[in-house]
Every structure is written in C-alpha cells, then in structure tokens.
C-alpha cells in the first residue's frame, strides 16, 4: 500500500535518538530488512521518524522504517519510507514543506486481474510513471486519520 504524505505537524514531538531508533528496529525486524533500514543520513529520515512517532502515539507498533522503492518517484520528492507495523505495512512519500500532492491525479487500470496506476499533475512523476500491483492500492494525500490507517492497513 502506498501512502502519500506531506507531513506538516505543528506540535512538538519527542524523538528517540537515531541510535535508539536503530536498536529498536534491529530487535523487531527480520534479517533481510536490516539491510534496508532508513538511515539518519537519508533525506526523508527526519520526516519518516516524525511519522513513526505519530503512529506510535496513535497506538501502532512500528516494527521497521525502511528505504522505499518509491524514492525518486516524483519530481522534488524529499524521500520515501516503507513502514512495517503491527497492523500491516505501507509506504509514505515526503515532499519538502510547503509542497503537497494536492495537484496529483491517480489513474487506475485493471487488466488480467492486476492493477496498474499512473500519475498526472504535480509533482511531476518519474519517467516510468507506472506502479503495478496484484491488488488495489489506496493513495492518500495528506495526513490520514487513525481509523483510516487502521482500516486500510488491516484490509491490505
């Protein structure tokens, strides 16, 4: 599942130090995941950790925050992260503030039991402009509610 976000939170959050976050992930992630941990030097790291903290405050157990295959998918994208939680997994895409995905249009096509998505508008998509999936993907632009997250992750 892909979750597109421009995280714009106006509250102060307490963050674990990067070392503690990485130690916590190492205890909860499987071995192959450990090769893909989002690192403190990754452009989306701060936003990704902020979203992880928001998820935790809403009752999610965040097992892993990993690099995403969606990195570089849109012009101006700051970065992307794959979240593995106790309720499923999803990807978040981060734009630098104040940019948003408000001008994005998602086109879904179904063929032979597969779902293909293409993107139009702003930010401009990468040249391949296609996501293929064996099941439907929900795209959310903005910060989702806890109930939406729970419902979509559990059903995905």
45: left (phi over 0), alpha (psi -120 to 50) or beta: alpha
- Quote the radius of gyration of the chain (alpha carbons, Å): 15
The 10 Å Cβ neighbour count of residue 107 is: 10
> Averaged over 71-79, what is the pLDDT?
89
Q: What are phi and psi of 90, to 5 degrees?
A: -160, 165
* Average pLDDT value for residue range 143-150: 58
**What pLDDT, on the 0 to 100 scale, is given for residue 89?**
83
Query: Are the beta carbons of 48 and 79 closer than 8 angstroms?
Result: yes
Partners of residue 125 on adjacent β-strands = 74
Residues 32-67: pLDDT tens digits? 655 677 888 988 899 899 999 988 988 889 988 998
Q: What is the pLDDT of residue 9?
A: 26
pLDDT score for 49: 93
Could you give the CA distance from residue 115 to residue 120 in angstroms, rounded to a whole number?
17
Q: Where are the domains of the chain?
A: 2-99+142-155
- The whole model's pTM is what? 0.70
Q: Centre a 10 Å sphere on the Cβ of residue 21 and count the other Cβ atoms it contains.
A: 21
% pLDDT > 90, the chain: 25
* Residue scoring higher pLDDT (7 or 119): 119
């Amino acid at each position: 599942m892909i979750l597109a976000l421009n995280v714009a939170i106006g509250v102060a959050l307490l963050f674990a130090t990067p070392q503690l976050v990485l130690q916590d992930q190492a205890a909860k992630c499987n071995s192959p995941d450990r090769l893909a941990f989002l690192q403190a030097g990754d452009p989306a790291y701060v936003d990704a950790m902020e979203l992880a903290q928001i998820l935790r405050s809403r009752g999610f157990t965040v097992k892993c925050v990993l690099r995403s295959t969606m990195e570089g998918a849109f012009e101006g994208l700051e970065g992307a992260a794959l979240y593995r939680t106790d309720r499923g997994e999803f990807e978040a895409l981060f734009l630098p503030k104040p940019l948003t995905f408000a001008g994005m249009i998602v086109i879904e096509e179904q063929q032979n039991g597969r779902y293909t998505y293409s993107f139009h508008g702003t930010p401009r998509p990468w040249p391949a402009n296609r996501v293929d999936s064996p099941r439907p993907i929900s795209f959310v632009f903005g910060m989702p509610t806890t109930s939406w997250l729970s419902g979509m992750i559990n059903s995905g």
